[in-house]
Structure 1
């Protein structure tokens, strides 16, 4: 893989591709690989259930994928976390720490010897009411704090949430999601990859 630009995709089950057949090629990191082409090596470091919060239910910080993404020596890091943090019960106790934890994650990857370009994404919409995760909380909490952290750290924020909401107004949402309304299906993953790819072209 010498000479290839290495792209680390950091995230939770949405990045991992839970429920997506052939997730390695049909998840958004796999689709992004196809869009970027052979000059890039895109690696999926998603961990199902992971939180941005260091004291959350399953901190990404404590996963093997976090260590693997670090040792991957990436040239580009794309972070998409926050969905699992939008739990009203845990957010009420821990939410005030989210911005600092997001900034620390950005700082962690920024200090790698490869000095990677870092992007942080807002999570995709939740299209059905779910008992454990609240879209209202997602908007008021993690998404708002992701913008705060991105601006504070001078890191581009990829507006996955807003762009998908805009897209769904025209195309509908159900056909792009699995039954739980949380996890995009292969078609939804493709949309995420396309909008991330387009953003990377605009903000290299």
Structure 2
């Protein structure tokens, strides 16, 4: 009896100390598409990932909506009552998929004008149970009308409904902006077509992917988005995120900063060296997880001291005036490798990780053309940028030299390499660098893309690369 009481008391003590998380949603949250449903749905997986410090409960069933005039409004169901009575510390709301329905049977979308007000009403009512609740307001997951195997009528239905998702995104974003304890997240990129059973509902892999996505959101506290004074604001949009254009005061160089919808504590950021917007899957995945994205124009400088000065100027502004974190991830595709590795070697204390994608690590190879592809225009510009002659370039220190690797020691480095790259051959660039890093036990991870050349850049799917870089932040 005493043993039983001890176990019982321990159980109640554990429950009292746990962070209570409510996952609120529709059939996707309920687990449709997962086999078996409750064991493999994303909310169950999320609870497993979060561990014993969290108590995760699911409040969901098929067909539920955020709109109060819809045919099945969540707020009028027993699931809302149970979620309210649970008094969660954190609530994740993933509703909206069924609100896009407008047909003979379901006439929900005709009430779309009420999206923002109904969302705010939903949140306010839920918070009456716990005013200090943190709410993560999430868009519906994507729809894939072109997924193989769908019936024609299903394709037509999803094609129509998918066009309505941006309106929900905007309504949720505006609703979240009215309450500092409500954080907006866009799940547009949280799934791919191969991860659903019918163009909407995730399969087991999709549910696990969603669980990892929510783990990224919930396992870190929210931070502060970079704040631009009104006088210097040149705001536009990039892939649905706020984009600010900046002119650096000393160098006059053009720079950009993209703001996440909800920032992660510590204001982490990724710094793209070249080719703004090209193959942005990693940039978008990190923005979705609360990272800022920065860029400064270092074109035709090939990683020289002028490029370093521009980088140092941007770094100083972003880490002081805008209070971004002190150690960004550096990202360099192709010739961007010259900037990221030179900057990291000069400032190893200002870098948390490096991602090089078919990176130039030896300008004798490219643009110089020694065992690589000659680009005479670029090579002449490169020599001018460094103030050296062609003869002097033969003895100029390169990133591939063993001594250079020591300057990068301890920095996690990810390399994505096309094995058939003849423009920037890996054997003259990334591979010697990786070998030198391995010799000094410095962390380096290589993804080979068999048979692929210099293009396309990026890793597909991006998840393994994303995980490596996120782990480097811990």
Give TM class, smaller chain. 0.7 to 0.9
Q: Cα deviation per residue 1:109-138 (whole Å; 9 max; x = unaligned)? A: 223236211111111100123527610112
Q: Which has the higher contact order (CA 8 A, sep 6+)?
A: 1
TM-score (norm 2): 0.39
1:201 has 2:215 as partner: no
Contact 1:51 1:82 in 2 (8 A): yes
Matches for 1:1-204 after TM superposition, within 5 Å: 1-88=15-102, 90=107, 92-113=109-130, 115-128=132-145, 129-131=155-157, 134-139=161-166, 141-154=167-180, 155-161=182-188, 163-164=189-190, 168=192, 173-174=193-194, 176-178=195-197, 180-204=198-222
- Measured in 2, the distance between the counterparts of 1:114 and 1:91 equals 30
Contact 2:169 2:186 in 1 (8 A): no
TM-score (norm 1): 0.87
3-state SS of the aligned residue for 1:71? helix
Going by fraction, where is helix more abundant, 1 or 2?
1
Contact 1:9 1:79 in 2 (8 A): yes
- Measured in 2, the distance between the counterparts of 1:130 and 1:42 equals 36
In structure 2, relative to structure 1, the CA distance for the partners of 1:130 and 1:7 (3 Å cut) is: farther
- Measured in 1, the distance between the counterparts of 2:80 and 2:127 equals 14
- Measured in 2, the distance between the counterparts of 1:203 and 1:82 equals 25
State the aligned residue count.
194
- Measured in 2, the distance between the counterparts of 1:130 and 1:71 equals 40
- Measured in 2, the distance between the counterparts of 1:23 and 1:91 equals 27
In structure 2, relative to structure 1, the CA distance for the partners of 1:35 and 1:102 (3 Å cut) is: same
Contact 2:30 2:61 in 1 (8 A): yes
1:144 Cα deviation from its structure 2 partner: 1.8
1:24 Cα deviation from its structure 2 partner: 2.1
Structure 1 gaps, min length 5? none
3-state SS of the aligned residue for 2:143? coil
